[in-house]
Amino acid sequence: MTLEKRLDDLEDGIEEMKSISLCMAEQTAHMQALIEQMEKCLNQYEHIMEPAQPTKMSDVGLVNKFGIMRQQKQNEPGEHTLNGPRSP
pLDDT in tens, the chain (88 residues): 799 999 999 999 999 999 999 999 999 999 999 999 999 999 988 878 776 656 676 777 767 777 655 565 665 566 555 555 555 5
d(CA 14, CA 11) in angstroms, rounded, equals 5
d(CA 11, CA 17) in angstroms, rounded, equals 10
Residues 6+ apart with CB under 8 A from 63: 69
